[in-house]
Structure 1
Amino acid sequence: MLLEEAPATLIHATIDNFNINQDRVAVARIGESLSTLQQARDLHLRDEETSLKKLNRQLNTFTSQYEDLSTAHSSADHASKISRLDTKKRRDAVDDEVLLRLKVYRSLGIDIERDERDGEWSKAVVRNDRKGDVHVVNMDKKFSRYFYANYFWSTL
């Protein structure tokens, strides 16, 4: 055999010469450092996730507010609404003028009816309560407004 001593004795002497306690302590220290680093990373990750969730909620809130405002203040809708209101205002002004005239005529005892075909004033019913008279007048284009006004005043 090549070795002068028994292999068991050599192995035992080699084990005694190795000092692994320092290596064990170093590996334990490295493990603790890795654990501490992992905990710090996990804490930082949780903080960033919380911040991201908060920012997502703000984004959703602002997005919904923007959509509400953009639908409420659409320029095309706004312009069409203004146009519609102007048209209604003009129509009401014309209607008010006609209604005012009709009220005046009715207060005098004159009821005027429109022709269904062309919308012109075609017939007038003149009532005189003092005399008890009722006159039905068919209004033709061949007579002037002045003629009809004089006729109505004379029957009242």
Structure 2
Amino acid sequence: MLLDEDPATLIQHTIGNFNINPDKLAVTRINESLTALQQSRDLRMREAETALRKLSRNLKSLEANYDETVAAHDPARHAQEILELDAQKFRIAKAASDLEIESERLEGDLEMLKERLAELEAQGLEGDETVRREREADDATILRLKVYRSLGIDVEADDAGNYNKAIIRNSRKGDVHVVKIDPKFSRFFYANYFWQTMQG
């Protein structure tokens, strides 16, 4: 034989040395996020279309009411009634104008949603690589912050987004320590310091 070991054994060792579970979990999370995004987008599009149809019906109703009001207008009636009808006509015209503006705005929103849908469909199931990386980085940061909070540690960021202050609460002693995080000290140093502060 050309190999010292059985090929089946070599293949089993090779498979065993690869751990694809984190990748599979990441793909699952991405697929779930894409599904949720698709559902949210579809819901917003349906809501926008429903609102547009409702506004169109209201506009037609107002136009019909306006036509009836104009048809029933009698120039021989008292001048005060004429003024009231003019005021009502103005209100109806203003409402119709407002509805038309709102209808145009909703149509613009619908076009934006359609363009966004086209972009997402063009990206495919994997999505944009930059967006995916940013989402994974945000997920990791949020997870770390939750772990810190569960231990009684609140981490605050400055205006630049750098986490440079930690507030450590010792529930047994009932005291609070505020620690300025200096990058010249290692993470190991701060991990030990935080732990000693919580246990002290």
> So what's the TM-score if we normalise by structure 1?
0.45
Instruction: Specify the structure having the higher radius of gyration (Cα).
Output: 1
The higher relative CO (CA closer than 8 Å, separation ≥ 6) is in 2
